[in-house]
Copies of this chain bind each other. A is one copy, B any other.
Amino acid sequence: MNGKRMGVATLRMARPPRVRAWAAVGGKKERDGPLGAQFDAVFPDPLCGEQTWEQAEVHLQKTAVALAANKCRLPVSALDLMLAGDLLGQCVASSYAARGTRVPYLGLYGACATMAESLAVGACLIDGGFAQRVCAAASSHFCTAERQYRFPLAYGGQRTPTAQRTATAAGACILTAAADDRAPVRLTHVCFGRVCDLGVTDANNMGAAMAPAAYDTLRTLLSDTGTRPEDYDGIFTGDLGATGTRLLCELFARDNIDLRAVHADCGGLLFDSGQDVHAGGSGCGCAASVLCAHLLPQLADGRLRRIILAATGALMSPTSVQQGESIPAVCHAVVLESGEKR
């Protein structure tokens, strides 16, 4: 094992891969939110000039990948591997975004945990010596998700207070090998999550379904690494929303750990309460874009020194919900540090 496995499930990178560049793109509501000015590109038109919302989501993901690669002065074709996923059936936003790149492509599915999954797998492949430049990406689109999971948009269905709003957004990171001293952020640890299901069947309360998975992965990571929440400048979940955040903090409180001082949720950061988003943002693009618009820049300039990104995914499908199944969830986590060794 080369000593890379710590404790139950945490993986320590022997030579921590770097995050060399990143880009976040969003839609109108994301632009109007508190992080709006931090996006690299914003598309006020939900179709992004395309014919369908699905094509628009492809456009978002392709744009994020191209902008991130461009910041490294690399053509996308110079990447060794693309790792990407999204919420759509058969992950079509990612597959169609990878079409034409001529870059080897691995499709991943972790629902809203996908950005952390792609970063984590990419980091392992780089640290293992299998790639030098990997793109990790994820996207979501309010309109594609709404009609797939819930109602036709034109129906105008009421949303419950616990419902979250799928972000129209994408994020992409270019991971490079440890030796790349131009890359300002290091990815030091990975924790792949286990599927948790406490029996929640309400697809409008995904925060409740995902909170136990976030708790499980964060407890594992903290225990395996012998760290405490206060050892991090921030622990960012994505996307528990307001309901899931409250539940996560309650779960930690039972262990006499107060998570609140250090915790924030990407779904809570992306929008503000005046934007009629109920419990907050969600979707693969939420954690992806908050990471790339808001967190990585702060790691790059040292305002944040060490954080955990613990992205959570609700793994149900429209079919499984209609069949009355409960909602399994997973949380994958990565530890990110400012580039200079601490």
A positions within 8 Å CB-CB of B: 1-5, 9, 11, 14, 51-52, 54-55, 80-81, 85, 87-92, 95-96, 98-111, 117, 121, 124-125, 127-132, 148, 190-195, 197, 315-320, 323, 325, 328, 330, 332
Contact = CB atoms under 8 A, between A and B. Distances in A.
Contacts of A318: 89-90
B105 A195 contact: yes
A164 B194 CA distance: 35
Contact of A104 (B9, B89, B104, B131): B9
Nearest to A104: B192
24 contacts: A1-B129, A1-B132, A4-B130, A54-B319, A81-B192, A89-B317, A90-B109, A91-B315, A92-B319, A96-B325, A98-B194, A99-B328, A102-B194, A104-B191, A104-B192, A105-B193, A105-B194, A106-B332, A107-B110, A107-B315, A107-B330, A108-B108, A128-B128, A128-B129
Given A108-B107, A129-B128, A328-B95, A101 B320 contact: no
Nearest to A177: B1
Interface centre among A117, A124, A132 (most CB of B within 10 A): A124
Contacts of A101: 194-195
Contacts of A330: 95, 105, 107
State the oligomeric state as a number of copies.
Answer: 2
Contacts of A191: 104
A223 to B, nearest CB: 14
Given A103-B194, A109-B109, 8 more contacts: A1-B129, A89-B89, A92-B316, A92-B320, A98-B195, A104-B191, A107-B117, A124-B130
Contacts of A193: 104-105
A328 B89 contact: no
Contacts of A54: 319-320, 323
Given A87-B90, A88-B317, A104 B194 contact: yes
A105 B148 CA distance: 24
Nearest to A328: B99
A17 to B, nearest CB: 12
Contacts of A109: 85, 90-91, 107-109
Contact of A90 (B3, B80, B89, B131): B89
Contact of A131 (B5, B108, B323): B5
Nearest to A102: B194
A128 B125 contact: yes
Contact of A315 (B52, B92, B132, B195): B92
A102 B320 CA distance: 21
Contacts of A323: 51-52, 54-55
Closest 9 CB pairs of A and B: A128-B128, A2-B129, A89-B89, A90-B317, A95-B315, A104-B192, A107-B109, A91-B109, A98-B195
A102 B109 CA distance: 18
Nearest to A320: B92
A5 B134 CA distance: 14
B11 A195 contact: no
A129 B5 CA distance: 8
A130 B11 contact: yes
